[in-house]
Amino acid sequence: MDFNLHKGMIDTHFHGLIMEKNGIDAKDAVLEAFRHGMDFMVDVGTKTADITDRIDLLSSFDKIIFTAGNYPSEVENNSIENLTDSLEKSILGLNYSTDSKGKISGIGEIGLDWHWNYGTKKLQIELFETQIILANKYNLPIFIHNREADKEILEVLKKTPPEKGGIMHCFSSDYTMAAQVLDLGLCISFAGNITYKRNNKLREVASKIPQTSLFLETDSPYLSPRAVRGKQNHPGHIGYTYSTAAECQNITVPELIQIVQRSFNKLFNPEL
Ligand SMILES: [Zn+2]
């Protein structure tokens, strides 16, 4: 396993259980990432049905926080009612056996995906909205998935504003979209695709947005940065994304590390 990681970095979006299913020893990858200096990581859910397995896999790490949520594809095999009910149980720590009450620190990833057109647009919008309502009920930030759905994502966010804010994950839209997302009080997270050669436009967005609204993520096991493309991604690759973002912002990597740490603390402990 190769590492590009500096002390204090934070991976705001990875999928431990999916890494494991893809043949990566997730526990080992995470342990090594912390040994190489990783400060904090967010294990993001894609369906509430696997919450027990996710918590069992990585809950022994103090510096991993978990989100719970249903990805848009979940509308294909479940009713909205079952999905939101299962999410509420997850938030309350009712559907897993380990002593994990209060383990859920955010709702996600939730959102809209017009690329794959799961279910119907109407169902996806309904699922997205009901999950924001739950996030608001339990004072949790949200982690948003947006694929080719800028217009409707904004419509939902304006109609049902996420009160504790959140992160637009793997941002891949243009600056006009970024500006509107920021206006709604949300932050923007860039994944490994910001390092891809052809993505000048995305780097331009990263150079324009305020430093305090910026997060970085690996989205492991997906989206390996350019330098390790073709390999399975793991949180230890987060350094490539930090380097590119720091270049865009014209600051040093250590400066960016400090800025992200502050924003991260503010998002999850707003009282600090
Ligand atoms: Zn993801």
pLDDT tens per residue, range 30-75: 999 999 999 999 999 999 999 989 999 999 999 999 999 999 999 9
Question: Residue 235: inside a domain, yes or no?
Answer: yes
What spacing in Å lies between the alpha carbon of 43 and ligand 1's midpoint?
9
Q: Is the pLDDT of residue 185 over 60?
A: yes
Using CA atoms, how far apart are residues 30 and 14, in angstroms rounded to an integer? 10
In a domain, 3, yes or no: no
Q: Ligand 1 centre and the CA of 259: distance in Å?
A: 23
Interval between CA 15 and ligand 1 midpoint (Å): 7
| pLDDT classification of 175: cutoffs 50, 70, 90 | very high
Q: What region, left, alpha or beta, does residue 119 occupy, with left being phi > 0 and alpha being psi -120 to 50 degrees?
A: left
- CB contact at 8 A, 259 and 228: no
Q: How far apart are the CA of 144 and the centre of ligand 1, in A? A: 9
When computed from its CA atoms, the radius of gyration of the chain, rounded to whole angstroms, is: 17
Per-residue model confidence (pLDDT) at position 250: 98
pLDDT of residue 264: 96
Number of domains making up the chain: 1
CA distance from start to end of the chain:
36
82 alpha carbon – ligand 1 mean position (Å): 22
- Reading the block at residue 232, the tokens are 């399975």
Q: In this predicted structure, what is the pLDDT of residue 270?
A: 63
Mean pLDDT of all residues belonging to the chain? 94
Residue 169 alpha carbon to ligand 1 centre in Å: 8
Is 1 inside a domain boundary? Answer: no
Range of the domain at 45: 10-268
Establish if 38 belongs to a structural domain: yes
**Percent of the chain at pLDDT above 70?**
96
> Does 15 fall in a domain?
yes
Question: What pLDDT sits at residue 103?
Answer: 77
Instruction: Report how far ligand 1's centroid is from the alpha carbon of 46 (Å).
Output: 7
Q: Does the pLDDT at position 88 exceed 90? A: yes
Residue 134 lies in a domain: yes
- Identify the helix (H) or strand (E) that includes residue 85: helix 80-92
- Ligand 1 mean position to 39 CA, how many Å? 19
**How far apart (Å, rounded) are the C-alpha atoms in residues 156 and 26?**
34
Q: Which residues surround ligand 1, an ion (CB under 5 A)?
A: 219
Distance 133 CA to ligand 1 centre (A): 21
Asked if 66 contacts 105 with a C-beta cutoff of 8 angstroms, the reply is yes
pLDDT of residue 176: 97
Could you tell me which of 141, 150, 160, 206 has the C-alpha nearest to residue 180? 150
Residue 252 has pLDDT above 90, yes or no: yes
pLDDT at 97 over 60: no
Residue 152 alpha carbon to ligand 1 centre in Å = 20
Is position 5 within any domain?
no
Q: What is the pLDDT of residue 125?
A: 98
CA of 192 to the centre of ligand 1 (A): 12
* pLDDT cut 90: percent of the chain above it: 90
Q: What is the CATH number of the domain that holds 55?
A: 3.20.20.140
Measured in Å, residue 109 CA sits from the centre of ligand 1 at 7
Give a yes or no: residue 153 inside a domain: yes
